[in-house]
């Protein structure tokens, strides 16, 4: 397991990673640490290599988006039926994050950074509707044609 930017997250597993028996990772955000020379990012990745019973290896890649709220932990469960490449956004509190994105739209308009009728906001609102309807954040963002980085910025504005 490799965490692209370890300055913002810590993890533990339900079994020692080296045992090969771990099936769930628990991710917890921490106050950002400063590692001299290390890069940091608001969107980082988590790479997990799995080995099936026949010795075949698969590399799973997850996008991890930092968020705020509760609960403080998110988890990633790895199973033999998982796809080779996955995107997750352990939001720690999806409803709160979505409310902050909505508030971020209002802040953006109030500050004159964009107009209320900007088509981008229609796409963000479609994203919000899709996530509330059960879609994953990544799927909804892809469908709406918006980046998770934009959503993260709106969320920060809405805090």
pLDDT tens, residue order, the chain (159 aa): 777 777 877 888 888 877 877 777 777 778 878 878 776 666 677 778 777 777 787 777 777 766 655 555 565 655 544 444 333 444 434 677 788 888 989 988 898 888 888 888 899 999 888 888 877 777 788 888 888 778 888 888 887
CA distance 124 to 131: 11
Per the structure block, which two tokens stand in for 93? Answer: 């509190």
pLDDT of residue 5: 74
Domain boundaries, the chain: 2-77, 94-157
Cβ-proximal residues to 120 (8 Å cutoff; 6+ apart), any chain? 114, 146
Per the listing, tokens 């290390």 go with: 38
Length, in residues, of the chain = 159
CA distance 14 to 97: 27
Per the structure block, which two tokens stand in for 112? Answer: 């004159």
């Amino acid at each position: 397991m490799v965490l692209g930017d370890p300055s913002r997250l810590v993890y533990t597993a339900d079994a020692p990673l080296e045992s090969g028996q771990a099936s769930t990772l628990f991710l917890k955000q921490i106050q950002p640490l400063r590692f001299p020379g290390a890069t940091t990012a608001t969107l980082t990745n988590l790479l997990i290599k799995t080995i099936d019973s026949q010795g075949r290896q698969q590399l799973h890649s997850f996008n991890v988006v930092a968020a705020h709220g509760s609960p403080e932990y998110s988890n990633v469960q790895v199973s033999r039926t998982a796809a080779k490449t996955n995107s997750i956004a352990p939001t720690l509190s999806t409803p709160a994050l979505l409310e902050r994105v909505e508030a971020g739209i209002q802040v953006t308009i109030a500050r004159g950074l964009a107009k209320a009728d900007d088509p981008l906001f229609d796409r963000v609102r479609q994203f919000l509707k899709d996530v509330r309807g059960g879609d994953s954040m990544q799927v909804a963002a892809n469908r709406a044609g918006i980046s998770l980085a934009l959503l993260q910025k709106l969320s920060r504005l809405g805090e």
